[in-house]
Structure 1
Amino acid sequence: MQSRRSEADTIGSLDLPIGALHGIQTERARQNFPITGVPLSHFPSIVVALAMVKQAAVRANIEIGGIKPQKAEAIDAACQEIIDGKHHEHFMVDMIQGGAGTSTNMNANEVIANLALTKLGYAPGEYEHLHPNDDVNQGQSTNDVYPTAVRLAVLFHVEPLCAALKGLQSAFGDRAEAFADIAKVGRTQLQDAVPMSLGAEFRAFAVTVGEDIDRIREIGRLLKEINLGGTAIGTGVNTKTGYDKRAVTHLSQISGFDFKQAKDLIEASSDLGGFVTFSGILKRLAVKLSKICNDLRLLSSGPRAGLGEITLPAVQAGSSIMPGKVNPVIPEVVNQICYQTIGNDLVVTMAAEAGQLQLNAMEPVVAYNLLKSLKILINGANVLTEKCVFGIEASADRCRDLLDNSLVLTTALAPHLGYDATARVAKCALATGASIRDVVIEEGLIPESELDKILSPAAMLDRSMSS
């Protein structure tokens, strides 16, 4: 029995497995772009997004009489199967490719066409009955399909990311309440500063995470302006009257997102500003998360020769040579996720800048880096929440010992003794090893009963938790 089929294009012909759902253009892309080893199927969101765009297009085309009903029904059904999670393994071209995403668009066109052919009773590759370009890609260009699909794929990740951050915010808030009455040393520039509560420190973590949830949603709205219907450069060449508005409407109905056609399709076909802005908020989030993880590592350092004010959950052995050592591996991995996201943002920025005239050919690397950042940030936030933050315990005795033996209480004396006199007290205490309280009493600077009130960390904790 025949095991191969031959397909031809303007370059020549290639043999494919007889039942393959991809075609010659996908096969050429596989051969031309062995770049990352990461195929489209690695990101189901982009595969689903492509199918949704194709489904919207065929529904628009049937309404304006641009395609025969039998073909349209087969294409629509094929798209729906992909949307439902089937056949993703046939989306095999590399995420990074030349051609401004043409290989991705054709991978979708060929798989959908061959699925539709089988539904009509034909074999894959019998394109005289239903064609990847003439039918599946009717009224479209890579230059409006691909950026629209990438925007949709990114939007699919917005709510999962916000949900992950909401969980992390809640976890920090839970620890803030649990640690509200634990007094400790606050630090600036890694030096002892003033008293605070451990709860206030964790409350600040919760607030900084929560700040970006609404911002991510707000900036995500920029991606709902699309150039679908603009085809090659935004002029709408090869589309029938009424197609573009119908396609956008159908995509909104299919995806659940309220898409709007860009006011100027020529501008929208070359400008990637929305991606740059969205990547920027991911970078901002990464910077914040990395700073928090740095703090968690510092606060848990030791356990005896470091700060040791908190204990992180022990999730695995930390050394192949030092028995009993446990490392802060969860904050460490989130740090690395954040570094990767920050680097990805630079790639997105440079790729957006590289647009020329009516198109930006660098969109594949934008798609790859944005989707990669979203994936690892979601996973990282969930791991940080579940495997670290909820299990953090306070070392209350250690916090109290560090506070009692520090010089931070001198700040409360400054309004009573003046800055210079207070500095002298601190210097004396540091030189002699005595406590601030003992130096003040010994020198008779403030009555003992009044001093106890002034140096009470509880008063300062009240202000830190109510501010």
Structure 2
Amino acid sequence: MSFRIEKDTMGEMQVPADKYWAAQTQRSVHNFEIGNEKMPIEVVYGFANLKKACALVNQELGRLDDDKTTAMAQACESILAGELDDNFPLVVWQTGSGTQSNMNMNEVVANKATEIMGGDFTKENLVHPNDDVNKGQSSNDTFPTGMRIAEVVTVTDNLIPALEQLKATLQGKVEAFSDIVKIGRTHLQDATPLTLGQEISGYVAMLETNLKQLNDALVYCREIAIGGTAVGTGLNSHPEFSERVAAQLNKFMAKDYGFVSQPNKFHALTGHDAEVVLSGALKALAANLMKIANDIRWLASGPRCGLGEIEIPANEPGSSIMPGKVNPTQAEAMTMVAVQVMGNDAAVGFAASQGNFELNVFKPVIAHNVLQSVKLLADAMISFDVNCARGIEPIKENIDRFLNDSLMLVTALNPHIGYENAATIAKTAHKNGTTLKEEAVALGLMSAEDFDKNVKPEEMIAPKA
């Protein structure tokens, strides 16, 4: 590998000759050889959108000439197209303000823009990383803005569509299974009947609530810190800079994401309660997905010695020793994702509590955990939907067997013979291994005809006037 020499305020550094980054990025590569977790590419793209918006606003304000603005905007577009992904080598475990990642972006944009303007970035800086790309900005307001852009985009474009698709699939099952009466279960014990459609409708309602919670959280994440510069005062920035940057982002990005200037920049730099709220919504989604996946794998347990009320797709062999075994792997993957998201939420909460004075210096780990949760949940829901949920089918013979064997059908007799008499029928039937009907007649509490009239599972699935 060939190298070139780059300089910063601390001296010279050897930098790979074919890379656009410069000395400060290289120092971070050397100084933070920690783990394998790279700065999320979504944050990189958030930064690229931000730097483009800042350049355009500085041009509007007469602080940046047209040639530099055009070149910097084109450089940012190259980054957003994925052409320069290998120029962002830094790990999450760096300075807690994200300064190294901000400078990584500044250096790459400056050198790429210099090249676009016809210069040789290895010999000259037609565009300067600090004076031009970082004009009117600080790492302390750019990194939280870049991560907010990443959060809003990934939740809006990836997570919410995946959630809506899974919800739609389950809603289809609600309608398809609306007339299949089955036994309910509470405390892992037999309970009163409901339809399979009603059972799944609970899952749909959970996801509808999760969708609302995510949209509520996005309201706070759309507030951006840019314009606060170092400590929230806006030193070296223009009074209109923040509002104009937000407007530019909403104008040129793929859609209007609704970014707004955060009203209090002191809050913006030192507080990350918006991420706590978002991560909480992600944890709530994870909790519901855990419940849904667990229910489905329990209902599909078997094939001969489990509940076996539903059948799910058999996607791959399940055992290296037991021939013919097939496992509920999509449910298992979903539940593991849920556990990871819950752990990530704990990390986000701890990190967000560490804002000392004017700056929280846990920003990269907050971004890493939030964005990992978003990606895992989106991917897991798509996989679960395509490879499991769409293929759910009822096994009616097992459903009917459990329904007819259940002692809890006796609940329908409460209004006619009272709770205590109904309990006597159930306990006696269980003890003797007989049916509810047989014991009701034997105990003289009800005729066979009245039992058949009053115990109809299909009429036990809704309130009666």
Task: Assess, with a 3 A threshold, how the Cα gap between structure 1 residues 20 and 406 changes in structure 2: closer, same or farther.
Answer: same
Find the counterpart in structure 2 of residue 46 from structure 1: 43
1:248 deviation in Å? 2.6
The letter of the residue matching 1:33 is: F
Residue deviations 1:267-311 (CA, integer Å, cap 9, x gap): 221111111101100000100100111111111112111111111
1:307-386 pair list within 5 angstroms: 307-386=307-386
Q: Which of 80, 99, 105 is residue 108 of structure 1 equivalent to?
A: 105
Q: Is 1:187–2:185 an aligned residue pair?
A: yes
2:55 and 2:173 map into 1 onto residues whose CA distance is 52
Q: Deviations over 1:398-434 (max 9, x none)?
A: 1111121120111111221111111111111011111
Structure 2 CA distance for partners of 1:162 and 1:99, relative to 1, 3 Å: closer
* 1:94 counterpart = 2:96: no
Report the secondary structure of 2:30's partner residue: helix
Is contact 2:330–2:383 with CA below 8 Å preserved after alignment? yes
Residue of structure 2 equivalent to 1:14: 13
Judged with a 3 Å threshold, the aligned counterparts in structure 2 of structure 1 residues 77 and 191 are, in CA distance, closer, same or farther, namely: same
Q: Is the 8 A contact 1:6 1:13 kept in 2?
A: yes
Provide the residue aligned with 1:413 in structure 2.
413
Give the aligned residue type for 1:64. Answer: L
User: Matches of residues 395-406 of structure 1 in structure 2 within 5 Å?
Assistant: 395-406=395-406
1:138 and 2:168 matched? no
Residues 79/428 of structure 1: CA separation in 2 closer, same or farther (3 Å cut): same
Counterpart mapping for 1:190-269 below 5 A? 190-255=188-253, 256-269=256-269
Q: Secondary structure at the match of 2:356?
A: coil
Q: 8 Å contact 2:50–2:146 — kept in the other structure?
A: yes
2:147 aligns with 150
Q: Which residue of 1 aligns with 2:392?
A: 392
SS of aligned partner of 2:357? coil
Distance apart, 1:69 and its partner CA: 2.1
Q: List per-residue Cα deviations over 1:345-393 (Å, max 9, x = no partner).
A: 0000000001100000100000000110000100001111110011011
Distance across 2 between alignment mates of 1:47 and 1:4: 24
- Post-superposition offset of 1:20: 1.7
- The CA deviation at 1:127 is 4.6
TM-score with structure 2 setting the length: 0.96
Q: Percent identity?
A: 38
* Cα distance, 1:241 vs structure 2: 4.8
**Cα distance between partner residues in 1 of 2:447 and 2:133:** 88
1:390–1:235 Cα change, 3 Å: same
Cα drift, residue 215 of structure 1: 2.1
Q: Secondary structure at the match of 1:14?
A: strand
Identify the residue that residue 428 of structure 1 maps to in structure 2.
428
For residues 102 and 441 of structure 1, do their structure 2 counterparts lie closer, same or farther at Cα, with a shift above 3 Å needed? same
Range moving further from structure 2, 241-250 or 195-204: 241-250
Paired residues of 1:187 and 1:194 also in contact (CA < 8 A): yes
Moved more, 292-301 or 374-383: 292-301
Deviation at 1:219, TM superposition (A): 1.4
In structure 1, how many angstroms separate the alpha carbons of the residues matched to 2:325 and 2:18? 55
1:451 aligns with 2:448: no
CA–CA separation in structure 1 for the residues paired with 2:258 and 2:405: 59
CA distance in 2, matches of 1:181, 1:253: 50
- Specify whether residues 324 and 63 from structure 1 end up closer, same or farther in structure 2 by C-alpha distance, changes over 3 A only: same
1:72 aligns with 2:66: no
For 2:404 and 2:244, the matched residues in 1 are separated by 71
The two structures have a TM-score, normalised by structure 1, of: 0.95
Q: Any idea what SS the aligned residue of 2:407 has?
A: coil
Matching of residue 300 in structure 1 with residue 297 in structure 2: no
Structure 1 distance, partners of 2:313, 2:17, is 54
Q: Specify the SS of the correspondent of 2:460.
A: helix
- Alpha-carbon distance change, 323 to 298 in structure 1, aligned in 2, over 3 angstroms: same
- SS of corresponding position for 2:360: coil
Task: Give the root-mean-square deviation of aligned CA atoms.
Answer: 1.8
> 229-238 or 240-249: which moved more?
240-249
Q: CA deviation at 1:124?
A: 2.3
The code of the aligned residue for 2:188 comes to L
Segments of structure 2 that go 5 or more residues without pairing to the other structure are none
Deviations 1:163-216 (A, max 9, x none): 111111111112222222222211110011111121211121122112211221
Residues of 2 paired with 1:178 and 1:245: CA distance?
Answer: 50
SS state at 1:409 partner: helix
Between the aligned partners of 1:125 and 1:25, the Cα distance in structure 2 is 15
> Equivalent residue of 1:184, what SS?
strand
Of residues 346-355 and 263-272 in structure 1, the stretch that sits farther from structure 2 once superposed is 263-272
CA contact (8 A) 1:117 1:126 kept: no
Cα deviation for residue 143 of structure 1 reads 0.7
The aligned amino acid for 2:110 is A
Cα distance in 2, alignment partners of residues 29 and 112 from structure 1: 17
Task: Give the Cα–Cα distance (whole angstroms) in 1 for the partners of residues 297 and 398 of structure 2.
Answer: 16
Give the counterpart letter for 1:146 in structure 2. F
Q: Which amino acid aligns with 1:79?
A: C
1-side partners of 2:252 and 2:142: how far apart?
15
Structure 1 244/432 Cα, relative in aligned 2: closer, same or farther at 3 Å?
closer
User: Which secondary structure state, in structure 1, belongs to the residue aligned with residue 192 of structure 2?
Assistant: strand
Q: Is the 8 A contact 2:355 2:361 kept in 1?
A: yes
Post-superposition Cα deviations, 1:63-113, rounded to whole Å, max 9, x if no partner, equal: 222122222221111112222332122111113322410011011101101
Q: Which amino acid aligns with 1:106?
A: M
> Where does the alignment leave 5 or more consecutive residues of structure 1 unmatched?
none
Q: In 1, are the aligned partners of 2:48 and 2:76 still within 8 Å (CA)?
A: yes
SS in 2 for 1:92: coil
